[in-house]
Amino acid sequence: VRVEAAAETLRFPEGFRWGAATAAYQIEGAAAEDGRGPSIWDTFARKDGRVFAGHTGDVACDHYRRYREDVALMAELGVGTYRFSIAWPRVKPDGTGPVNVRGLDFYDRLVDELLAHGVEPMVTLYHWDLPLALQSHGRGGWGDRDTAACFAEYAAVTASRLADRVGTWTTLNEPWVSAFLGYASGDHAPGHTDNRAAFRAAHHLLLGHGLAAQALRTAGVRELSLTLNLARVNPDDPGDPHDVAAAWRVDGVLNRIFLDPVLRGRYPLDMLGLFERFGAADAIVDGDLAVISAPIDLLGINYYQPALVRAQVGAAAHPMYPGSEGVAFLPQPGPVTDMGWTVDPSGLSDLLLRLSREYPDTPLMVTENGAAYADALTGDRVADPERIAYLDGHLRAVHAALSGGADVRGYLAWSLLDNFEWAFGYDKRFGLVYVDYETQRRYPKDSALWFRTITRANAL
On whether 8 is known to bind a ligand per the annotation, the reply is no
Report, in Å, the least distance between residue 85 CB and ligand PNW: 9
Characterise 298 by phi-psi region: left (phi > 0), alpha (psi -120 to 50), beta (else).
beta
Report, in Å, the least distance between residue 21 CB and ligand PNW: 8
What is the x/- site pattern for ligand PNW, positions 118-137, by CB under 6 A? --------------------
Q: Which of 40, 119, 177, 274 is in the footprint of ligand PNW by CB under 6 A? A: 177
Q: How far is CA 56 from CA 19, 25, 88, 126, 176, in A?
A: 27, 9, 18, 19, 23
User: What separation, in Å, do the N-terminal and C-terminal C-alpha atoms of the chain show?
Assistant: 19
What is the x/- site pattern for ligand PNW, positions 411-450, by CB under 6 A? ---x------x--------x--------------------
Using CB under 6 A as the binding rule, whether residue 23 contacts ligand PNW is answered as: yes
Active site residue 28: no
Report, in Å, the least distance between residue 25 CB and ligand PNW: 9
3-state secondary structure at position 223 = strand
| Helices 269-277, 195-218: inter-axial angle, 10-degree rounding | 120
On whether 450 is known to bind a ligand per the annotation, the reply is no
Closest alpha carbon to 20 in 91, 90, 70, 87: 70
Report, in Å, the least distance between residue 430 CB and ligand PNW: 6
Active site residue 120: no
On whether 414 is known to bind a ligand per the annotation, the reply is yes
Are 152 and 208 in contact, with CB atoms under 8 Å apart?
yes
Q: Which is nearer to ligand PNW, 350 or 421 (CB)?
A: 421
**CA 232, 17, 429, 186 torsion: positive or negative?**
negative
Segment near ligand PNW (CB under 6 A); pick from 40-48, 169-177, 200-208, 218-226: 169-177
Closest alpha carbon to 116 in 145, 82, 87: 82
Q: Which of 28, 174, 251, 260 is in the footprint of ligand PNW by CB under 6 A? A: 174
Q: Which is nearer to ligand PNW, 100 or 185 (CB)?
A: 185
Identify the active-site residue in 120, 174, 358, 386. 174
Are 401 and 352 in contact, with CB atoms under 8 Å apart?
yes
Segment near ligand PNW (CB under 6 A); pick from 116-124, 141-149, 172-180, 203-211: 172-180
Residue type at position 396:
R
Distance in angstroms (rounded) separating the CA atoms of residues 460 and 298: 24
Binding positions for ligand PNW, 215-254, rule CB under 6 A: 229
Residue type at position 301:
I
Distance in angstroms (rounded) separating the CA atoms of residues 409 and 402: 9
On whether 173 is known to bind a ligand per the annotation, the reply is yes
Are 315 and 249 in contact, with CB atoms under 8 Å apart?
no
Report, in Å, the least distance between residue 27 CB and ligand PNW: 10
Residues contacting 18, CB < 8 A, separation 6+? 78, 79, 80, 81, 410, 411, 412, 454, 455, 458
DSSP string, 26-53: HH---TTGGGPPPBHHHHHTTSTTTSGG
DSSP string, 358-388: HSTT--EEEEE---------BTTB---HHHH
Report, in Å, the least distance between residue 345 CB and ligand PNW: 17
Using CB under 6 A as the binding rule, whether residue 342 contacts ligand PNW is answered as: no
Q: Which is nearer to ligand PNW, 28 or 153 (CB)?
A: 28
Segment near ligand PNW (CB under 6 A); pick from 170-178, 236-244, 308-316, 352-360: 170-178
On whether 325 is known to bind a ligand per the annotation, the reply is no
On whether 303 is known to bind a ligand per the annotation, the reply is no
Kindly state the number of chain residues that form the binding site for ligand PNW, as judged by CB under 6 A: 11
Using CB under 6 A as the binding rule, whether residue 397 contacts ligand PNW is answered as: no
Identify the active-site residue in 153, 368, 386, 438. 368
Distance in angstroms (rounded) separating the CA atoms of residues 162 and 211: 18
On whether 458 is known to bind a ligand per the annotation, the reply is no
Q: Where does this chain bind ligand PNW (CB under 6 A)?
A: 23, 26, 173-174, 177, 229, 302, 368, 414, 421, 430
Active site residues: 174, 368
Binding-site residue set: 26, 127, 173, 304, 414, 421-422
Binding-site residue set for substrate: 26, 127, 173, 304, 414, 421-422
